[in-house]
A and B are shown apart, each in its own frame.
Chain A
Amino acid sequence: MSFLDLKNITKIYPNGTKAVHETSLSIDEGEFMVFVGPSGCGKSTLLRMVAGLEEITEGEITLDGNLINEVDPSERDIAMVFQNYALYPHMNVYNNLAYGLKNRGIDKQAIEQKVNDAAKLLQISDYLQRKPSMLSGGQRQRVAMGRAIVRNPKIFLFDEPLSNLDAKLRIQMRLEIKKLQQKVGVTSIFVTHDQTEAMTLADKLAVINNGVIEQLSTPIEIYNNPKSLFVAGFIGSPQMNFMEGELKNKTLSAEGFEIKNVKSDYNGEVTLGIRPEHLSQSDNGLINLTVDLVEQLGSDNLVYGQLKDKKDFCYRCPGNLTIKKGSKLSLNIDNDNYFIFDKSSGKRVN
């Protein structure tokens, strides 16, 4: 049995909306799990059920061997960092950190020790006497984390904690969260809709769509081996290119080109997926692209253009190549790096 076990969890709201559908998953001790998915996919609901802030309609959650379905959130020994931080506005930073400890009846000296240690770890020692309203976004974020760390809980829950920060700070805090989690070693669940955050933070990644986990694996495995059309489209930036085609007797025919010896026995209508970074220019490539727009990122160029059938297509190439608007490119797929999905079910077939 692992540290946190979710067994057939279902959540139906009183108005009949099914937010989470028979979801099972397990998280090992010390693992950093990330739930990623579009808004409204049920990832936050799942997290809140672990925290005890939402009732579980069906299923069981066990934490450290104990069934916690009916355990009050205050007794679960779980700490959560909220999207808007939910700092206590009338208390200074010290009391924000100390409040949870006071409620547990820990003596004053021990509290002071723990708060000071956490403050030092997060570099907020200088602000302990300030009220949250006098702190910047990044500092508030740290205080919210401090409030979680100081209690030394069984699990950290993060509910999109970085989405209120500006881009630069977000990247910085992302790194710090990861470092901190590795240092403290607490089991964590992090909810986000940002696939970059998800990829960079996770030990294990759960891609959630419509209340169902579409794929659960390591980030790199999900990137290299997406099991469904949704996962393939959601993970990776810029998004994977998709085109319609037909698979028959191991031959894929799409608009204007064919791929032979496909490793699949599937026959029927399919969607072909190719990542922009898995393409390279060659003299007589499979794909002919008319360039509309080039985004120069410095290290890379993102080339946007259209195929013969006017479908949008993206190609990522090294930044030192000069590509002009209106030029025609001929592209090949690198090392059979393409994905084929059943058109109707979205399941991977190669």
Chain B
Amino acid sequence: MTRLFTSSFSHIILFIGISIMVVPVWMIFASSTHTSSFIYSHGLQFFIGDSFHENYLRVLLYQGGFFKEITALKMFFNSFIMATGVALLSVFTSLMAAYALVYYRTKYATFLFWLIFVTILVPLELRIFPTYSVMAKLNLVNSYFGLIVPISASAIATLFFRQFYRTVPDELLESAKLDGANTWRFFIDFLVPLSKTMIIAMFIFMFVFGYNQYLWPLLVTSSEQYWTVVMGLKMMSGSIVHRFAFVMMSMVPPVLIIIILQKHFIKGVFQDK
């Protein structure tokens, strides 16, 4: 009897928590499927209306911005390029940096590592003007390259990979050496497959991080051609249902990435060996 009570009690708590998180999202979605005049007169809706196709298609293809040069579709494309670029590049650089820090007899390796680590304390927002100035001088303003590169060095990911490499037993390296593997082969054949789950976890983190960027893309792009989804959230004008539809769609890419990779994600973050 007590067990039944405690288990139903915890379920009720869970249910309340989930409701608090899901209901607003659901209401935005439901409302985005009505016509705007209906929303203005009846308020937010809980049930789905019949303007789904009309609203979402219009938002995707509407020429927005001041110069009417950008569509939501293009923003999704830009965001996707940027998020993927940031994720790939930061995972790649962190893997390599951690490899060099752990496996090469670099002088002051620990000091160098902490130097990298300290950059966590200096976020992009703090160094945004010098960074912009560098990008401007390199003529990389208004380019995907300029969007991606300055935020693609991740101290956190380097920390994760470094800590993981340090748990890999030395005998594995020695054994691989005797089996004829050079340092590069050891990296490719051993460390990369062994850290697969962690690579995927870091990829998701960095993808979402790149996707959520607002200030940097705002600064480094003056052409509407390079607007990203998060910028669009602020910039898009239009009726309330179209904004709702845009908000709903903006959630899709990160959610999709997590759904697809979640199995590895959980394994990666909570890996115990």
Contacts and interface: CB of A to CB of B under 8 A. Distances in A.
Given A82-B174, A86-B174, A99 B194 contact: no
B180 A80 contact: no
Contacts of A72: 177
Given A99-B189, A103-B185, A86 B171 contact: yes
Contacts of A53: 174, 177-178
Contact of A74 (B172, B178, B189): B178
Given A84-B171, A86-B169, A86-B174, A74 B190 contact: no
A168 interface: no
Given A89-B194, A90-B194, A82 B175 contact: yes
Residue of A72, A79, A86, A147 with highest tally of chain B CB at under 10 A: A86
Interface string A70-111: 001111101110111010111000000001100110000000
Interface in B69-127: none
A78 B189 contact: no
B190 A80 contact: no
Interface in B176-199: 176-182, 185, 189-190, 193-194
Contacts of A104: 180
B179 A103 contact: yes
A73 B193 contact: no
Contacts of A89: 194
A8 B174 CA distance: 25
Interface string A129-151: 00000000000000000010001
A30 to B, nearest CB: 21
Nearest to A100: B179
A74 B181 contact: yes
Interface in A288-315: none
A51 interface: yes
Which secondary structure dominates chain A's binding surface?
A: loop
Given A88-B190, A90-B193, A90-B194, A100 B180 contact: yes
A75 B181 CA distance: 10
Interface residues of B, number: 17
A78 B185 CA distance: 18
Contacts of A90: 190, 193-194
B267 to A, nearest CB: 14
B58 to A, nearest CB: 50
A316 to B, nearest CB: 39
Contacts, number: 58
A86 B180 contact: no
A74 B182 contact: yes
Nearest to A151: B179
Contacts of A73: 174, 177-178
A151 B180 CA distance: 11
A79 B190 CA distance: 19
Contact of A84 (B169, B181, B193): B169
B173 to A, nearest CB: 9
A23 B172 CA distance: 28
Given A86-B169, A88-B172, A103-B185, A80 B193 contact: no
A308 to B, nearest CB: 52
Contacts of B182: 74
B106 to A, nearest CB: 15
Residue of A73, A78, A104 with highest tally of chain B CB at under 10 A: A73
A42 B152 CA distance: 47
A51 B178 contact: yes
13 contacts: A52-B178, A53-B177, A72-B177, A74-B177, A74-B178, A84-B171, A86-B169, A88-B172, A89-B194, A90-B194, A100-B179, A103-B185, A151-B179
Given A52-B178, A86-B169, A100-B179, 8 more contacts: A74-B177, A74-B182, A75-B180, A99-B181, A99-B189, A103-B181, A103-B185, A147-B179
